[in-house]
Amino acid sequence: MGKRIMTIVTILWLGLAALILGHATVNAARSYRLTTRGIQADAVVQSMTQRRREFYPNLVFTLRSGESIRFDSVSGPRLGDHVSVLYDPADPKLVKVNTTQALWIAPLVEAIVGAVLFLLPGLLLLRSLRSDDSTETAPSPRGSGAEGQG
């Protein structure tokens, strides 16, 4: 029963790691797309939204067509600040603040966490298999005592 539960926990753990790695990949792909094909624009922090105990900036920028786009940033600038943003011309709702932190830190942290979560059960499984092998191949105490008396 213990091995069955351990197997289920390992599978769920690996599934969580795969989800985190998948999210990191999608996030990094979006950042890459924005840095290679995105259009840079100047955005202004028009208002702040409070969620729990933190305030998040609401930025507004104008497309080349003249249409205004509003989006929420996760952190950073204050009310009235101007920031550079990158947006996808094919999908202007895909927009990020044009900083290394906004574009690359989140995918990097997610990738590291996902990799650690993915490797940890593998290492534990390997350790478990090695300990199983060592108990199966160990000589019995009775056999080793008879050999010494010959």
Mean pLDDT of 60-64: 92
Residue 148 is assigned to a structural domain of this protein? no
Residue 133 is assigned to a structural domain of this protein? no
Residue 37 is assigned to a structural domain of this protein? yes
What is the number of domains present in the chain? 1
Residue 144 is assigned to a structural domain of this protein? no
Dump pLDDT digits (tens) for 75-122. 777 888 899 999 999 999 999 999 998 899 999 999 999 999 888 877
Name every residue whose Cβ is closer than 8 Å to that of residue 120 and which is 6 or more positions away in sequence: 13
What residue numbers bound the domain in which 15 lies?
Answer: 2-127
Residue 136 is assigned to a structural domain of this protein? no
Query: Distance between CA atoms of 30 and 36, rounded to whole angstroms?
Result: 10
**pTM, whole model, 2 decimals?**
0.71
Residue 140 is assigned to a structural domain of this protein? no
Which of 35-39, 43-47, 48-52, 135-139 is least confident? 135-139
Confidence (pLDDT) at 144: 53
